Structures are given as C-alpha cells and as structure tokens.
Structure 1
Amino acid sequence: MNEPAALAPASSPRPANAPVVARWPARLLEQASSYLPLLLMALLALGTWWLVSNTPVAEPERALAPPRHEPDYTMSQFLVQRFAADGGLRAQIEGETMRHYPDTDTLEIDNVRVRAVAPDGRVTTAHARMAHANGDGSELQLRGGARVVREGAPGEAPMVFRGEFIHAFLDTERLRSHLPVTMTQGGTELHAQALEYDHGDRVVQLKGRVTATFPAAGRGPQ
C-alpha cells in the first residue's frame, strides 16, 4: 500500500505590521528630492551671478575735448568787403593768405591791406606783415611794420601812425598800442612808448617817454 506524498509546508503569511524594506533606487530618489529646493536656489544664485558678471557696463560720459587751434579753411589772394546798412562800403580787407580759426572765430592774415571808410567819408588805410582780426574784420591787430594813415579834413595833413604793433578798431575809429609808436602829421613827428587814439573825441594819449620834432618856424605842413 502506497504511503501518501509529503506536502511542502505552506509559507507563513507576513504580519500586517511588518516593515516594508524599500529598494535602494527608491531611497536614493527620496534623498535627492529632499535636497531639491536647496539645489534650485543654488542654481538660481549661480545664474544671477553669471548674468551680472556678463552684463555690459555703460561707459562713463567722456568730457568733450576742447577744439584745437587749427584753421578750418584757408584763402589765398583774397578780398573781403563790409557794407553799411545804406549799402555804402565801410571796410575792405585783402591779403596774401587768410586762415580762419573756428575755436576763437578769428582770422590770421599775411601781408594785410585795409581800407576803411568813416561815416563822414574820410578814408583810413593800413598795412602790415601780419594781422589778427575778429570774425567780422571790425577789429585788427596789425603786427610787423604796421602803418596806419588817417585822411585829414580839407586843408589838413593826414595823420600817420607807425610801429611794430597797432590795434585798430575800425567801427569806433580808435587806435591803441602798448609798444613804441611814431605819429606824424605834416612836419610834426612824435615818438611814444605807447599810444591811445580816439578819433571821435579827437584825443591822442602818448604814454611813457615821449619825444617830439616840430617843423622849423615859417614852414607850413608837409
């Protein structure tokens, strides 16, 4: 008689309150998720630093360099005329070469020749090796062999001024010099260390050491 086969014991069921052993990938994910906020903050800080360090910085405004004293145009063998409101000629300036300086709005003229007409019609002429003038030519500083001739009234000899420097104001008919000047009229010749002449007031101021030469008695103006 055959004996019955032995049966394998059935596995005992897991208690309800027994702990569940998690696998290591799940545990790693759980650990990483706990540091996720800190990691995001670090990435944000790193991105902010990169953005600031690579943002171009605006250059400070540079001060404008002062204009250089160089001519912006030059004219050769020129002639410039100025007219009064009634159309009459007031001044004519000509020379070998003229240079205009925009930084000071002045003119530099080589071998200048000037002809100015006063409101009463009398003419003043001048020439020099060099002149510096303002923009409209109404004021000239004559340098080097300067000579100014003021036409006299009818029957009156002209007045002649000579020196190495004469400052001429054409509109106000004044002359000025801080250097020696010789003034002649007829046979009279005056030498002074400086001069102020105002034709409107008919006043001549001779400054410094003054010497004079007068015509001999009985001789008229020359």
Structure 2
Amino acid sequence: MTSRLLFGVLLVILVLLAALSLWLNQPARTLSPTQDNGSRRTPDYVVENFSAIRMGNEGIARHTLIAKRMVHYPDDDTTDVENPHFIDTEPGKPPVQVTADQAKMSANGEDIYLTGNVTVLRNAGKGRAETTMTTSLLHLMPDDDIAKTDKPVVITETNAVIKAVGMEMNNRTNVTRLLSQVKVVHDNARKPL
C-alpha cells in the first residue's frame, strides 16, 4: 500500500513539473493590435555599468563611452544610453569629455544625440585654458569630431562667459561657431593660462 501511495505521489509531482515546464516555456502574452499603441519596443540586449572603446586605425583609443545603462533596439538599430560619459582623445590635442542624462545613438555610433544637462569639457592644453559648455541638446558626430546644437548654450572660459543660441564645434580645427543671440561677459583682468 505504501508503494502505491509513493508511486501516486511521484506521479502527481511529475505531472505538476511537466505542467510547470510547459507553462514556463510559453511565450509572453503579446498585445493585440487594438491594445498596442505602437509605443512598445522590444530591445535585443541591455548592458549595465559598462565602458566601450573605439580604436583608431593606428590602434590608439579614439573614443571612449562609459555609461550606467545601454539598451539596443534591433528594429531601427538604435541604442539608448543612460548617463553617458563620452571621451574623445586625439593624439596631440587635449581630451574632450561630454556628459548628459540620456543619449540616443544611431547605427554604428555615427550620430549621437545627447539630452538633459549636457556638459562638454575641453581640457586645458597647448596654451589654452579649460573650456566648459552646457546645453540641453547636443548632436555629436564622433567620426567628424563635430558637435552642434540649435539650443541655448553657455560657454565658460577662464576670463569670459559666453551665451548664445546654437553652436557648432569642430574639435579637429578647434573652431567653435556661435549661431545667434551671442552675449559675452568678459573679465577685464587677464588671467594667466
């Protein structure tokens, strides 16, 4: 009798395990077209607390990206990045660091759109003092060493604060163009570089 009871209990356990495994293997319920408003996107991978380095042709690190979280979407090959810290290093030039709350990267990282508390820091070097720029939106084109925005910007240098709407910065030529409504507050006392 105990062997029949033991066999019955084992049979019930096996049936429960089989039912549980079938239930776990079922795909997640998808929304019907009437329930899905098109705003849902499914990422194919998520990476947290990472750093990525893009090397130049000469084998030297050119671009570094450090971030809290990255989510990639295969439907349009875009990537959303949380708390990005982008560092551009070019031999013979001071590094340029860019931070923001969020970023959206196109396929292959050719275009990066940074939003929320965007700060660009060009380190001091070759007779130039450190320069900081803040804005709410910045479009980076890392391969061309260009950053631009059509939003208000504030540029802070050793002896000046510059405010403008719209900016284009070329890190290769060290030329920054301010597009409109430019206002400069200059400290008359020259400070050494």
TM-score past 0.5 threshold: yes
Give 1:27-176 correspondences, 5 Å limit. Answer: 69-176=41-148
Q: Structure 1 pair 213/221, CA: closer, same or farther in 2 (3 Å)?
A: farther
Structure 2 Cα separation of the partners of residues 152 and 136 of structure 1? 30
- Higher relative CO (Cα under 8 Å, sequence separation at least 6) belongs to 2
| Kept after mapping to 2: 8 A contact 1:80/1:93 | yes
Q: Name the residue aligned to 1:8.
A: none
State the identity %: 25
Q: Name the residue aligned to 2:11.
A: none
Greater fraction strand = 2
Structure number with bigger Rg:
1
| Kept after mapping to 2: 8 A contact 1:187/1:221 | no
Q: Name the residue aligned to 1:58.
A: none
Unaligned runs of 5+ in 1: 1-67
Partner-residue secondary structure (3-state), 1:160: strand
- Structure 1 range deviating more: 203-212 or 139-148: 203-212
* 1:43-101 per-position Cα deviation (integer Å, ceiling 9, x unaligned): xxxxxxxxxxxxxxxxxxxxxxxxx7432111111111111122111111111110011
2:153 corresponds to which of 181, 205, 211:
181
Task: Write the letter of the residue equivalent to 1:208.
Answer: S
1:190 corresponds to which of 138, 142, 162:
162
Unaligned runs of 5+ in 2: 1-39
Partner-residue secondary structure (3-state), 1:136: helix
Task: Write the letter of the residue equivalent to 2:150.
Answer: H
Q: Structure 1 pair 221/71, CA: closer, same or farther in 2 (3 Å)?
A: farther
